[in-house]
Amino acid sequence: MNRILIAEDEPRIASFLAKGLRAKGYTITIATNGLEVVSMSLDHNFDLLLLDLGLPKKDGLAVLEELRGQGISLPIIILTARDDLQDKLAGLEGGADDYMTKPFRFEELLARIRLRMNVAQPATTNNQTILTAENLTLDLLTRQVTFKHQLVELSEREFTLLETFIRHQGQVLSREQLLDHVWGYNYDPGSNIVDVYVGYLRKKLANDLIATVRGVGYQFINNQARIKGKY
């Protein structure tokens, strides 16, 4: 499982990133200051570092310089509110692999993470990048979906929602859980957007793949549940 170190001292942003990336199957560790980042990067085997520049105790550029100076080659994506060209150049010239400014779209960040991990780990196995269930195949790298051997076009949100269901097969997920995993912290909990997107998936795939659990939420129905006669 891919391990990501998030170096971010703003709790709300760190929590948002951690929740979103955990929903994608990543193992997340959070560091809140530059000294922690250096120590963790040297002592743990991470696959990628998301690095904020405005860290206390040791700023991001100093962290970057120290890690690269000690031969730490893990992919590093700078994620910061600093949009000055000189800061960006300093980060990239200091050894960062990518640079994103806040605010950002989570989908774009996710795409850049996948790109950097794919480049750094070309031998990634199908077990890590392919999800299968109920005549469905999801390729997490190409973002392609096949259902009954036919290619199905899904939007980014539809893909992420389906991925969440497949990773939690048989588990009842509340609308609040799905909203948090797929859309993040900035959506109204009273929104019906989850119901709308479940409808999209049913229309594009099959009506009986996702069951409505009245008063609770939704459940992806696997063969085990069907065999037991629950559905």
| CATH number of 58's domain | 3.40.50.2300
Q: List the single range of 132-136, 155-159, 197-201, 223-227 with lowest mean pLDDT.
A: 223-227
Q: Are residues 90 and 150 in the same domain?
A: no
- Name the more confident of 59 and 90: 59
Max mean pLDDT range (60-64, 118-122, 149-153, 182-186): 149-153
Q: Please identify, among 52, 85, 120, the residue that sits at the C-terminal boundary of a domain.
A: 120
* pTM given for the model: 0.53
Q: Which of 198, 206, 204, 152 is nearest to 179 (CA)?
A: 198
Q: Are residues 89 and 138 in the same domain?
A: no
Q: Which of 59, 110, 101, 64 is nearest to 80 (CA)?
A: 101
Residue 226 has pLDDT above 80, yes or no: no
Sheet with 27-31, edge to edge strand ranges = 27-31, 3-7, 48-51, 76-80, 98-101
Q: Please identify, among 92, 120, 148, the residue that sits at the C-terminal boundary of a domain.
A: 120
Using the 8-state DSSP alphabet, how is residue 205 labeled? Answer: S
Q: Please identify, among 89, 120, 151, the residue that sits at the C-terminal boundary of a domain.
A: 120
Three-state DSSP class for 174?
A: strand
Q: Are residues 68 and 133 in the same domain?
A: no
Range of the domain at 159: 127-227
State the total domains in the chain. Answer: 2
